[in-house]
Structure 1
Amino acid sequence: MPVSRIDLAGASSPEALVKRILQAEPNLPVPVPIQELCARLGILRIEDLDADEFEGGLVTDAKRSEGTILAKRGGEPRRRFTIAHELGHFLMAHHIPDKPGRFLCKSSDLLRLTAKEGDQRQRKEVEANRFATLLLMPPHLLRGAMAAFREPDLQHVLVLARDFAVGKEVAARAYVQYHPERIAIVVAGKGRVQRCYRSLSFPDIICGVGSSVPTGSLYQSTPLRPNVASDIAACIPDVWIDVKRDLRAPSLYEQVYLQQNGFAMILLRLEPVPEETAAERRLDEGWRHRFHSGRR
């Protein structure tokens, strides 16, 4: 593995750093050997973190000449993401720790995708997460893996999570981002919406974070088997999205993957509304005129 810190000179953003790493390692295998990369890039050790409050940490000096990554024991995919996240902190010199020489990150930090304006700590966590995702699921390798997929299906998310050795939620975020269709994946826990990932063309979900999963969802209305993706079925679009009055409702399809720990992924796929023919428009306009004028 030839990559070294010299290859990263001048790169400071997550995207620039990962681009340099991939240029130095054009034949990087999947799953990405994150611990080997750490060793090549100045991390001396990866040690277990025994602290309930934190998921990961980094011990380093002011010059970032070397470092030790701390990662909580648990599922290997989650630990790999933690290690990549802390490596991002190490390589981005503008990331200044809260305490001199020591970063400590909570599980909520490793889920953060946006930062409040002016909150530098949150911005650092967002950047470390972007770095970890790009490094563990390099875009060119992810696109290659997804080329074999056709219609959106949660089985694809499970395949990506397995092949790239990342958590299911990390794979779900990447799947939504790179899939060409209008899709969203809702993460539910104990019957409530926890997080939602949408493609740019998918409308807002009307169920806010913390609200109950709608009763019209397959999650609530259909018997589900843990660790088995349900069939894909049509659902009433108003359950999840705002459908404007007097407009033809789009077709919305839903699929659920129930996990044993009380969490679930809910895939939503939106099909565009077909354009009305001239005859359909005339019929619709005539009906509206009669309705509003009181004529029958």
Structure 2
Amino acid sequence: MSRVASPTVPRPVSTGIGWRHPHYAELLATRPPLDFLEVHSENFFAEGGAALAVLQQARASYPVSLHGVGLALGSALGVDLWHLDQLARLVDCIEPVRVSDHACFARGTVNGKLVHAGDLLPIPFNDESLDVLCANVQQVQERLERPLMVENLSAYLTLVGSDRSETEFLTALTRRTGCQLLVDVNNIYVNALNARMPGEQAGDPVGICQAWLDQIPPDVVGEIHLAGHCVMDDIVIDDHGSRVTADVWRVYRHAINRFGAVPSLIEWDTAVPPLSVLLDEAQQARALAVPHGVQPALLR
């Protein structure tokens, strides 16, 4: 018999929100229509207790993505084994759909003492940094027995020692370790703006971001982050404290066109608004995303 292709079935983008403490009770009470929730892993490291109980309640209704800020994957001292053990325990408990952290360093020694910067500090894009990052990512993946997602950073200075672009560096990381990328389009935009500050008008930041995205292979992107930013004096800060701007939405549309229906998250961490605002932003992401069809099935 002849075989015909079935009609293309639209596949909408999976959208979620960063679930923060002010919205714990309301979200559990109302169960709004979301595809997933994302939480900061470190907030749930305590064994047992109210925080973990709340997360388990949410997990009963939604897939959960764990997003970390403390692994310090680019640190030459390596990964903190206690931190990794706590993350592994949480992964076993929650069974998240994705686990992620940042391409940054935070651990080092000062006067012979181990210190943690408590911030996401940038790393140079060179062979030495790549070797460190790959080793640490691989260690985490082996401990968790799953691929990790690594997020591009919003950085406020240019490091001496880089000999390749950020996109080349991150792509090499994925090819060597099998990890995926969490592409934060707001971070790309913030970096593009800061590269031309103060007061310079030359260059199109949206075009710069689109060119950045075009250098990333589509098969390595596992999630997209969206957030707001603010301008303070002569610097743009990735503060996650406002709605996504029109330009960042333009960059996001380009990302979806390139990468396909990648799960997309609204982050909001400062001046947290009512839950309805985050839900509205998530709906905006879904509405702006170009529907991507599944491959047509062949019928006999």
Structure with bigger gyration radius: 1
TM-score band by shorter chain is under 0.3
TM-score, normalised with respect to structure 1:
0.27
TM-score, normalised with respect to structure 2:
0.27
Bigger relative contact order (CA 8 A; separation at least 6) = 2
